[in-house]
Every structure is written in structure tokens, then in C-alpha cells.
């Protein structure tokens, strides 16, 4: 364990995280880099580090009108939070006990610059295999980014108590949507009593599209409740990554019954291919790997194929 000021440790962790980040080098990542750097340049760090959203404007690119910067920096707290797993892993690898947390201290107050504070929080290290402890022949997956799913997150959040309540909720939503839609279409057909073949085809096409749309969102949710992890439908993903996974995962809070509450999470798992050093993304397995989630190498998805366990975050080459 690294000795000294907790915030210094946290800033070091932040800087190392930015340096090893495997996702897109977005503007927010480069702003984070500048923030951690300026923290480490100080002679002395207290328990908190504060800054204004206007402090790091020079680190945004020259072509930037400023509005993109404003948008990015206003979400800097949320961005760090969605990368907490990655920060925790960095802390484990470098034996640093703390990770940085950014909070906005004048949320929703006026139109002036936002004020932020950075504090150190204890790194959550359970379940993370350190880089030098990965068993030989295995690869380690990193949680690159995570978030609550859009739409569904808001819908299900208050209901993520017991499994059966969620089943009822999801069933009710789907059923009412379907019944409503069938009534609407039925009414429409009766009203127009169309004999025109083109109108009929058009109606049929829109019906199919809508039903397919509904199915493509609701089917993965159903599957996810029992299988715990599925490929995340694009419509539910707030993250920009090409491949994300929808997880139905236990929360820290325990109910009186001893069972844990569960919640949906959208997570991007990634690893480095040990054969060609390219990026590995996680997908639903096909053909002989049907029913499993597997890691596929970006450059050779046919041959560089790996198993994937979201609990151990480890995998090994599949024949
Ligand atoms: Zn590869």
C-alpha cells in the first residue's frame, strides 16, 4: 500500500487510469488528464481539491467553439463515475488504495461556472485479479465503462426489489403496449376498411416493424433476468461503444430475507488479445458457442476467440 496523502494516491491512480485507458480518447479523458496532472503538480494537497468548470478551458482543442467543452466538463463527475471499475482495477494493479471521486458542489445553481471538488475514496478491490496475478493461459477483461441503461433504467430503478415484482412489471408493460397497439391497428383497419392492396401492405409493414422493435427491446430484458448477462440492445445503451453487455446484477444492499436487490447495468467489457495485441470485445456466441458470451478479437474474430466469465473477469482461448 502506497503511503502518504490519500488524495495524492487517488490523483496518481487517476493519472495512471487515463494513461492506460483502452476506450476512445475523448475530450473528457484529456480534460481528466489535465486535472490529475495539475493536482500532482501542487506542492501540497489537502483532503479535497476544488476547481471551476472554466479552469481547464485551454486544454480543449483549438477548433472548439467552447460549447462542446462546456458540455463535456459539465458531465465530468458522471464520466469519472462511469469509469469507477477501471479506476479500481488500476488501483489494484499499482497497489494504490484510493481512487478519485469528482462531485459538483453547486448543482443547478445559476448559469455561472460549475464548481467541482475531488476527494479520495477507498478503492474497491474485491473480485479484481491484479495484472501480475492472472493465471497463465488466461486473459483478464476490464470493465471499460458502465452506466444505468437508458429508458429501462428509469422504469425499473424503483422496482429492482424482488425478481417476481420485476417480472410482473415487465409483463404488464409489454402486455399493455401490445394490447394498445392491436386495438389501435384494429380500429384503424375498421375505420378505413381499406381494399387497396398498397395500403394493406403499408399497414402490414408498419405493424411488423413496430412489433419487431418491441420484441428487440423486451426479449433481451427477459433473457437477462434469467441469464444475468446478455448483449445489450443499442436502444438501451447510453454508451457509445460498439459492443456492450446488459447485466442484471446484485446490489450491495441486502433485504431482510437475506437476498440482494438487483439492478440492470450496461457494461463494456474489453481485453487485449494475447495473440495480436488487438482489442477484444464481448458478444453473444454463435454456432458452436451458442448460448455463451465470448470474447472476439477485433482483427481476427474467427480464430482469436476466448471464453468470458463476467464474475471472475477472466477468460482463456477457445478451441
Ligand atoms: Zn487477435
Distance 305 CA to ligand 1 centre (A): 8
In the reported structure, the alpha carbon of residue 268 is separated from the centroid of ligand 1 by a whole-number distance in angstroms of 18
Q: Ligand 1 centre from 143 Cα, in Å?
A: 19
266 bridge partner residues = 147, 246
**CA of residue 279 to ligand 1 center, whole Å:** 7
Cross-strand pairs, 270 = 142, 281
Map residue 111 onto helix, strand or coil: coil
pLDDT over threshold 70, residue 300: yes
Q: How far is the CA of 141 from the centre of ligand 1 (A)?
A: 14
**How do residues 117-148 score in pLDDT, each as one tens digit?**
999 999 999 889 999 999 999 999 999 999 88
More confident residue, 97 or 190: 97
Is residue 27 very low, low, confident or very high in pLDDT (cuts 50, 70, 90)? confident
pTM (predicted TM-score): 0.81
Burial of 35 (0-12, 13-18, 19+ CB in 10 A): buried
Q: How far apart are CA 246 and CA 267, in angstroms?
A: 6
Q: Name the helix (H) or strand (E) containing 139.
A: strand 138-140
Nearest to 142 by CA among 210, 179, 197, 87: 87
Q: How many CB atoms lie within 10 A of CB 240?
A: 11
Res. 204: pLDDT tops 80: no
**72-96: average pLDDT:** 92
Cα–ligand 1 centroid distance for 88 (angstroms): 26
* CA 144 to ligand 1 centroid distance, Å: 18
CA–CA separation, 282 and 69 (whole Å) = 32
Residue 1 pLDDT greater than 60, yes or no: no
- Whole-number Å distance, alpha carbon 280 to ligand 1 midpoint, is 7
Q: How far is the CA of 94 from the centre of ligand 1 (A)?
A: 26
Q: Where are the domains of the chain?
A: 6-127, 152-316
| Mean pLDDT within 301-305 | 96
Give residue 283 CA to ligand 1 midpoint distance, Å. Answer: 15
Q: What is the pLDDT of residue 175?
A: 74
Mean pLDDT calculated for residue range 171-181: 74
Q: Which residues contact 161 (CB under 8 A, 6 or more apart)?
A: 255, 261
Q: Provide the pLDDT for residue 223.
A: 86
Between CA 59 and CA 32 the distance in angstroms is 10
Distance 291 CA to ligand 1 centre (A): 22
Distance 39 CA to ligand 1 centre (A): 37
CA of 277 to the centre of ligand 1 (A): 6
| pLDDT mean across residues, the chain | 84
Percent of the chain with pLDDT over 90: 47
Rounded distance between C-alpha atoms, residue 246 and residue 158, angstroms? 18
Determine the Cα–Cα distance for residues 167 and 174; give it in Å rounded to an integer. 11
Higher-confidence position of 276 and 65: 276
Convert the pLDDT of each residue in 230-270 to its tens digit.
998 887 788 877 789 999 888 777 767 777 778 888 999 99
Ligand 1 center to residue 232 CA distance, Å? 23
180 to 173, 177, 214, 246: CA distances (angstroms): 11, 5, 13, 28
d(CA 250, CA 140): 22
CA of 301 to the centre of ligand 1 (A): 7
The pLDDT, as a whole number, for residue 114 is 87
Amino acid at each position: 500500500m502506497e503511503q502518504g496523502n490519500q488524495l495524492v494516491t487517488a490523483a496518481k491512480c487517476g493519472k495512471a487510469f487515463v494513461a492506460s485507458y483502452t476506450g476512445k480518447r475523448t475530450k473528457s479523458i484529456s480534460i481528466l488528464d489535465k486535472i490529475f496532472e495539475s493536482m500532482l503538480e501542487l506542492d501540497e494537497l489537502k483532503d479535497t481539491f476544488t476547481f471551476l468548470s472554466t479552469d481547464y478551458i485551454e486544454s480543449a482543442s483549438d477548433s472548439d467553439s467552447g460549447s462542446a467543452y462546456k458540455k463535456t466538463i459539465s458531465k465530468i463527475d458522471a464520466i469519472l463515475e462511469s469509469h469507477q471499475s477501471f479506476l479500481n482495477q488500476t488501483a489494484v494493479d499499482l497497489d494504490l488504495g484510493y481512487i478519485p471521486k469528482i462531485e459538483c458542489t453547486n448543482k443547478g445553481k445559476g448559469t455561472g461556472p460549475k464548481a467541482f471538488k475531488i476527494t479520495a475514496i477507498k478503492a474497491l478491490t474485491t473480485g479484481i485479479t491484479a495484472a501480475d496475478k492472472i493465471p497463465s493461459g488466461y486473459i483478464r477483461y476490464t470493465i471499460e465503462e458502465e452506466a444505468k441503461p437508458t429508458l429501462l433504467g428509469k422504469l425499473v430503478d424503483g422496482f429492482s426489489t424482488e425478481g417476481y415484482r420485476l417480472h410482473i412489471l415487465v409483463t404488464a408493460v409489454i402486455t399493455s403496449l401490445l394490447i394498445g397497439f392491436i386495438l389501435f391497428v384494429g380500429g384503424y383497419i375498421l375505420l378505413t376498411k381499406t381494399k387497396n392492396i398498397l395500403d394493406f401492405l403499408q399497414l402490414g409493414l408498419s405493424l411488423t416493424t413496430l412489433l419487431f422493435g418491441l420484441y428487440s427491446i423486451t426479449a433481451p430484458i427477459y433473457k437477462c433476468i434469467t441469464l444475468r448477462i446478455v448483449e445489450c440492445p443499442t436502444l438501451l445503451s447510453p454508451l457509445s461503444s460498439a459492443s456492450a453487455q446488459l447485466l442484471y446484477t446484485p446490489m450491495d444492499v441486502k433485504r431482510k430475507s437475506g437476498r440482494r436487490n438487483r439492478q440492470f447495468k450496461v457494461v463494456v467489457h474489453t481485453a487485449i488479445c494475447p495473440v495480436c495485441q488487438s482489442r477484444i470485445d464481448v458478444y453473444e456466441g454463435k454456432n458452436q458457442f451458442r448460448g455463451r458470451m465470448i470474447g472476439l478479437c477485433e482483427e481476427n474474430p474467427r480464430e482469436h476467440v476466448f471464453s468470458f466469465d463476467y464474475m471472475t473477469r477472466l477468460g482463456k482461448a477457445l478451441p
